Structure 1
Amino acid sequence: MDKWEYKSIKFETKGFFSTLLEIEDFNFKLNELGNEGWELVSCIPIGGSDGQTVEVTAVFKRKK
């Protein structure tokens, strides 16, 4: 049976309404982790009290 390890990374949004994700930084980190063998499983938007996305949590997995 395969065994997995998991990693979660938070990316904060920016901008006046906190709705902008620095896509170049986001892609750089995704590629960096992909080169280390991590596979992106999911991206979860985390909302603030006003319903806007304040951060995105990316979840990765790789075989142990």
Structure 2
Amino acid sequence: MEQWEYKTLKYRTGGFFGGNVKEEDFEEELNRYGMDGWELVSCFDTNMSGQSRDVIVVFKRKVNFG
């Protein structure tokens, strides 16, 4: 049976009211996790008063017993 481990990343948005994501920085961080074997499972934002505050990213990777 396959087993998985999970990792959650909170990426802060910028700007006075939030909601701004530096796409190159965000992509670079996602690629770093991908190179470590993490697969993106889900990505969503949190908000306050209609403005995105954080982007939550969930990764998984197979647990290797050996």
TM-score by length of 2: 0.89
In structure 2, stretches of 5+ residues that fail to align are: none
Per-residue Cα deviation, 1:14-39 (whole angstroms, up to 9, x for no partner): 11321101111111111000000000
Q: CA RMSD in A?
A: 0.8
**Cα distance in 2, alignment partners of residues 19 and 4 from structure 1:** 31
Q: Which residue of 2 aligns with 1:19?
A: 19
**Cα distance in 1, alignment partners of residues 8 and 24 from structure 2:** 19
Aligned residue runs from structure 1 range 1-64, under 5 A: 1-48=1-48, 50-64=49-63
Query: Per-residue deviation at 1:3?
Result: 0.1
- What's the % identity of the aligned pairs? 49
**How many residue pairs align between the two structures?**
63
**Cα distance in 1, alignment partners of residues 59 and 30 from structure 2:** 9
Bigger Rg, which one: 2
TM-score by length of 1: 0.92
Q: Which runs of 4+ in 1 moved over 2 A?
A: none
In structure 1, stretches of 5+ residues that fail to align are: none
